[in-house]
Amino acid sequence: MGEHEANLLAHRDISVDNLRALAVLFMILVHAAATWMPSTASKTSLIAYVVAGIGGLAAPLFVTLFGWGIAASTSLTWKKIFQRAGILALCQLAVNFAAPHLFDPLTPGVLTLFSLLYLTAPLWNKLSDAPKVEFFTLVSFLVLPFFLIEFMGPSSWTSRIETTTVSTLVAHLFLTGQYPLFPWLVFALLGAHLYRQPTRSLSHTTLLVGSFLISLSTIWYAADQNRPWALATDPSNTAVLTFFPATTTFLFAAVLGVLLLWFACYQRFESNLFVPLGQMSLSIYVIHFIPIGLFHEALSSQSNKLLHYAVIVLYTFLWIPLARLWLARFPNQTIESLFRRRQSNSSSDE
């Protein structure tokens, strides 16, 4: 999510746009399912696991692509950093007000995570100067939640969106929220690493094999102990991995999924079908919450599960032609175009 530089727009990587589009579709699907999934639907059914698995990859893929874009940027000045961080923070406010049934007005989310990543980019992107330090930092962020889980907040949705005090807001931004800087920085580091080493390397193989073995062992452990393998939140602390907070086991599973998608699609999947969706991913991320917020109770009186599932699927895939139509008719009426205009103005001032 987020286009970083004008020169990137002139030489876009179609496969990256397609990966970004996949992340958008994954995110819309999980948000639509969270809103319109029938209350009687089983939380352990195959469709529930598929939606949870897809949803679990959406944000990691977004942040990885964000890190890739930061690494690709060649003229990221402090002025641009502050402008973009500010715009993203305002977009998060818009999302919160568009979906009040999901968020408090000041709830930090994935867009505020991007703001923090912009503000800290000069620090973590500098790690590229020392590849071994960069890889060590990446692995450390994967492992540290195992030791710091007690400080990462309870695994409940309400506690992670409530922002009643300034201290709570700050804690959510950096440690206890939905997408705190720690440990989600790990995916930005992964994206930057993939930009600098786009082809398979020893570090990639190490991450793939290690993540696969850890993920496989957690699945075996969950089955052996008759415990749920993955849950978004888990107040009872019985799940082997959770999304909120992002546990070490979740991080390894997400890294595995992101790397598999990356090596399956990067410079391989270059269809133009999804490109518009990838090019205006930030705009669609913000806008797709508006219908969800307005009509989140629309199916509450409907008992037909197939109707619920049909609405979820149709709503998700409707954004593919909508993005194409939008860019064809209103190419300058997107948040991405605002980024480009601000960058153009900044360049003319320098």
* Structural domain spans, the chain: 6-349
Residue 104, Cβ density class (10 Å: 0-12 exposed, 13-18 middle, ≥19 buried): middle
Residue 304, Cβ density class (10 Å: 0-12 exposed, 13-18 middle, ≥19 buried): exposed
Contact 3, 66 (CB under 8 A): no
Is pLDDT of 64 > 90? yes
Kindly state the average pLDDT of the residues 185-201: 87
> CA-to-CA distance for 49 and 258, rounded, in angstroms?
17
Residue 175 phi, psi dihedral angles, 5° rounding: -150, -40
* CA 132 vs CA 61, 71, 162: distances in Å: 23, 17, 39
| Token pair in block for residue 132 | 């071994």
- Lowest-confidence region among 18-32, 171-185, 262-276: 262-276
The closest of 182, 177, 179, 185 to 64, measured between CA atoms, is 185
Kindly state the average pLDDT of the residues 77-82: 91
User: Band of the pLDDT at 2, cuts 50, 70, 90?
Assistant: very low
pLDDT reported for residue 122: 92
Three-state DSSP class for residue 231: strand
Is pLDDT of 67 > 50? yes
| Token pair in block for residue 126 | 């500098």
* CA 225 vs CA 130, 231, 239, 243, 245: distances in Å: 42, 16, 10, 20, 22
pLDDT reported for residue 7: 40
Is pLDDT of 9 > 50? no
Which DSSP category does 149 fall into?
A: G
User: Band of the pLDDT at 134, cuts 50, 70, 90?
Assistant: confident
Percentage, residues of the chain above pLDDT 70: 91
Residue 81 phi, psi dihedral angles, 5° rounding: -60, -50
Is pLDDT of 115 > 90? yes
- Lowest-confidence region among 160-174, 219-233, 257-271, 307-321: 257-271
Which DSSP category does 176 fall into?
A: I
Beta strands in 181-297 (DSSP E): 230-231, 241-242
pLDDT reported for residue 289: 93
Three-state DSSP class for residue 241: strand
pLDDT reported for residue 50: 74
Beta strands in the chain (DSSP E): 230-231, 241-242
Which DSSP category does 273 fall into?
A: S
Q: Which amino acid is at 75?
A: S
pLDDT reported for residue 6: 38
Is pLDDT of 1 > 50? no
pLDDT reported for residue 350: 52
pLDDT mean across residues, the chain: 87
pLDDT reported for residue 45: 65
User: Band of the pLDDT at 12, cuts 50, 70, 90?
Assistant: low
User: Band of the pLDDT at 228, cuts 50, 70, 90?
Assistant: confident
Which DSSP category does 175 fall into?
A: I
pLDDT reported for residue 39: 73
Percentage, residues of the chain above pLDDT 90: 57
| Token pair in block for residue 37 | 């999934």
Is pLDDT of 121 > 50? yes
pLDDT reported for residue 43: 63
Contact 17, 323 (CB under 8 A): no
> CA-to-CA distance for 306 and 304, rounded, in angstroms?
6
Which residues have a Cβ under 8 Å from the Cβ of 290 and sit 6 or more positions away? 98
